[in-house]
Amino acid sequence: MMVELIEYAIALMASALLVGGSVAVYNSFISYEAELQLRGTFSVVAGGADSALLNGSAKLTVPLPESTIGCEAGTFYVSVGSGTISQSIAAGCDFQTRVSAGTHLLTFSTSSGNLELVVK
């Protein structure tokens, strides 16, 4: 009887540890996935901004998560969820646009040395 009780306790503890470990792995994956989404979104959008600075304008049709795209005093940034990535650009700018999740047409242009963005 005592051996069975010990075996049951060991099995119960092993199950609890397995469930706890699975939850920790899942939470780590969710954080990593959110970071990847932010970096991917920033890379695509910043590429369009850089192209507009070089060529005068750039149009991108891209799927975006709910996010904020902005530029202030030469610092271009993209925010997704609680994360933000930014970079300095060689142009003046002053805009901030909240974007709903979905596919959008981003039109970057430069006017008098200032970067501008229109989202449709």
How far does CA 24 lie from the centroid of its chain?
Answer: 22
pTM attached to this predicted model: 0.74
Instruction: Specify the pLDDT at position 59.
Output: 96
Q: Name the residue type at position 77.
A: Y
Please report which residue ranges of 1-120 form alpha helices under DSSP H: 2-55
CA distances from 48 to 3, 15, 53, 55, 110 (A): 68, 50, 9, 10, 12
pLDDT at 17: 72
Q: Which tokens hold the place of 72?
A: 């202030």
Question: Which ranges of the chain have pLDDT less than 70?
Answer: none
Helix ranges (H only) for 56-105 are none
DSSP letter for 120, please. Answer: -
What pLDDT is recorded for position 91?
Answer: 87
Q: Measure the CA–CA gap between 7 and 5, rounded to whole angstroms.
A: 5
The whole-angstrom separation of Cα 120 and Cα 105 is: 5
